[in-house]
Amino acid sequence: MRRWQELSRDPNDPGVMGARRDAIAKARADGLVFDRVAYLCRLVAGRSVLDIGVVEHTREAMESPLWLHGHLKRCAAYCLGVDVMEAEIKHLNERGYNVMLADVTQAPLGEKFDVIIGGEVLEHLDAPGKFMENCAAMLNPGGRLAITVPNPWYINAILKSCFKWHTFVDSADHVAWYDASTLFELGQRHGVELVRFIGIAGRSPRTLRAKLFFGLRPLLIRIGVTPQLFAKSIIYEFVLV
């Protein structure tokens, strides 16, 4: 899609809105991802990869069998990890991981990559535009940026926000919510274009009421409910413009 400014001076012009809806509909993938790690591993297999935000908050997360960077390292031809947490990066270096202390919102690295992964990173950042701009600068021609972010339209978040007796908080260190339209615009402003997005299914429900509702998911999707309603987070994939 061309930048909306090439279509109209008004971002709410019907032609602009229609073109944006068409672009987002084209990028929307059917179904849901039930294994985030496996999906991202397929994306990086045999390629040079930058993994941003490898620590995942705590050192304990790095010991989990679900730790994303550990899986990406095994699947990629070359994998570099970065984070801003100095002590944890030093710990990973001592364990033999190819990681470095770096803040990619400040400046791009002096390397280029086939794939850049930003798993649950963007919602923490004060400077999302610089993040996107610097990621674009680090992509090889034909390269892909894949980020995952919480889904503001997840049914659980919507329902918990509907009632005055429940105050919904996703995470205390998140500073923004993103959806396909906002990320489409953010990407275009900084040199990458959204080409695909797909929801990641939430964990198995625990309460009986939730189990009954989520048990209806296949039927609801079949009759036209968007699968993203059942996605706790979304994978968004961008390519260089």
Q: How far, in Å, are 12, 15, 180, 184 from residue 8 at the CA level?
A: 9, 8, 21, 17
Angle at 145 between CA 154 and CA 174, to 5 degrees: 45
Positions of the chain with pLDDT lower than 50, given as ranges: none
Question: What is the spatial distance between Cα 110 and Cα 117, in angstroms, rounded to a whole number?
Answer: 17
Return the beta strands (E) in 96-173 as ranges: 99-101, 113-119, 139-150
Give yes or no for a contact between 1 and 26, defined as CB atoms under 8 angstroms apart.
no
pLDDT for the residue numbered 232? 92
| Burial (0-12, 13-18, 19+ Cβ within 10 Å), 221 | middle
Question: What is the spatial distance between Cα 24 and Cα 21, in angstroms, rounded to a whole number?
Answer: 5
Domains annotated on the chain, with CATH: 4-240 (3.40.50.150)
Query: pLDDT tens-digit profile of 175-202?
Result: 999 999 999 999 999 999 999 999 998 7
Query: pLDDT tens-digit profile of 39-76?
Result: 999 999 999 999 999 997 777 777 788 899 999 999 99
pLDDT for the residue numbered 61? 76
Q: Is 141 helix (H, G, I), strand (E, B) or coil?
A: strand
pTM of the model: 0.93
